[in-house]
Amino acid sequence: MTASPRLVLATTYPEPAALAIAGAAFARGQLAAVFTPFNPSQRLLAAARPLPKRLRRELDRRRLRGFAPVSVKQVATLRDLAQRAVRMLPRTQAIAQRLEDSMKDRFDRVVAQRLDRVECEAVIALQGSSEMTLRAASAAGRLGVLHLTDSHPAAKNRYLRELGGLPPGHPELVSEVVRAREERELDEAGLVLVPSRLVADQLAAAGVPRDRVDVEPRAVDVLEFSPASSAKVAARRDLRCLFVGQICHRKGVRFLLEAAGRLAGLPVTFTLVGPLRSPDLMRRLPENVTWKASLAHSEIAAEMRAADVLLLPSLEDAFGLVTLEAMASGLPVVVSDHCGSSELLADGAAGIVVPAADTEALANAVQLLLEEPQRRRAMGLEGRRRMVAGRTWEGYGHCVLDRIGRQSARRASAEVSFR
């Protein structure tokens, strides 16, 4: 095991992979601090019971669990609460995005100012909120680690324009200001963590040296996400297709709905679960499609146990964690070749990879799984087997922490040699 550096995590939301790394550092006694905009206390959560369920769920989701209270440093900001509240209202996504960008900018600035008060050797910060933090870490001789959750902004915009047909100024496109900031973050980082070769190739095309990029696929909790009983599965007569994610163009929802329309009349239903980001997509739903707003993790796990197939036809997706959650739930998955998780399905044994923005290919994949139930079940069993045999979030965190330790040691050695 590599000696672990003392670590700081700066995250604007409870991103599971970043928290797994911080959790590994905490278990080793090497976590210096976790900076976050808002970490509600148990007392606040208890007092929030009269609030609407969606708001209470959002508050609960923001709570960082598993860390000593002294480790969590709250960078309180009204902008964070405001943008989360605004997103729950209809036709306010552009306003919410501006509030979110403003919140990230202030969070980054405050964390950069506070780093000097924390003794550490490495700092992990999330994409889109880390330019000043990474610069401050580098100036202090610390390893600055950029944790990417999305594709390179230039690649994202290209796919959304070319495949999704989005016009200039569409809210889903990365703005020029945000694009420039994220590219400066890449310049400042001593190490860039990415979840797939798909993203690593995007960074290489943008000029980021490959020796500064570390690829590590995500993990899954196989206890929380587990299959339904075989009796329940055998009793189903229709094919239940599930989509989990933001209802937006980026996730390929338009092509999913088109495929659903083509399959009307067959015993196939489609359930979409996730927050509404592009309302224009939902104006005319096919009769075989239903939509549910954001659900808690336990509720999503239940939806997966009630489904037969997961669909993720994204136009661009750095990874697509729901793919692993579905596989752990015993579901075959149909994902696009623009999802990083498609790299785990190349042999076709646990799922089907279809071209992004190809309605016909998506509809054909669903019909194939409808007509071949034995193949469908075999894929689900193989997906579950792979997830059980794969890495847990705990294992993921320790693996990445070891790599950060090696990079930090190389950096320190190089500085000594230079002197």
pLDDT bin (cut points 50, 70, 90) of residue 43 is low
**CATH H-level, domain 230-389: superfamily:** Glycogen Phosphorylase B; (3.40.50.2000)
Q: Alpha helix locations (H) across 189-328? A: 197-205, 230-235, 253-262, 297-305, 321-328
Q: What pLDDT, on a 0 to 100 scale, did the predictor assign at position 89?
A: 57
Give per-residue pLDDT as tens, 390-419.
889 999 999 999 999 998 887 766 655 544
Give 117's DSSP letter: G
Q: Answer whether 0.75 is exceeded by the pTM.
A: yes
Per-domain boundaries in the chain: 7-219+392-418, 230-389
**Does 3.40.50.1400 match the CATH number of domain 7-219+392-418?**
no
H helix count then E strand count, the chain:
16, 13
Are residues 137 and 123 in contact, defined by beta-carbon separation less than 8 angstroms?
A: yes
85 pLDDT more than 60: no
Please give the average per-residue pLDDT across 68-95, as a whole number: 63
CA gap 9, 22 in Å, rounded: 7
Q: What pLDDT, on a 0 to 100 scale, did the predictor assign at position 391?
A: 81
3 pLDDT more than 50: yes
Q: What pLDDT, on a 0 to 100 scale, did the predictor assign at position 415?
A: 59
Give per-residue pLDDT as tens, 312-323.
999 999 999 999
How is 352-390 classified by DSSP, letter by letter? EEE-TT-HHHHHHHHHHHHH-HHHHHHHHHHHHHHHHHS
- Same fold yes or no, 7-219+392-418 and 230-389: yes
Please give the average per-residue pLDDT across 370-396, as a whole number: 95
Q: Which of 84-88, 271-275, 333-337 has the lowest mean pLDDT?
A: 84-88
- To the nearest whole number, what is the mean pLDDT of the chain? 88
Torsional sign, CA 241, 303, 324, 229: negative
The percentage of residues in the chain with a pLDDT greater than 90, rounded to a whole number, is: 71
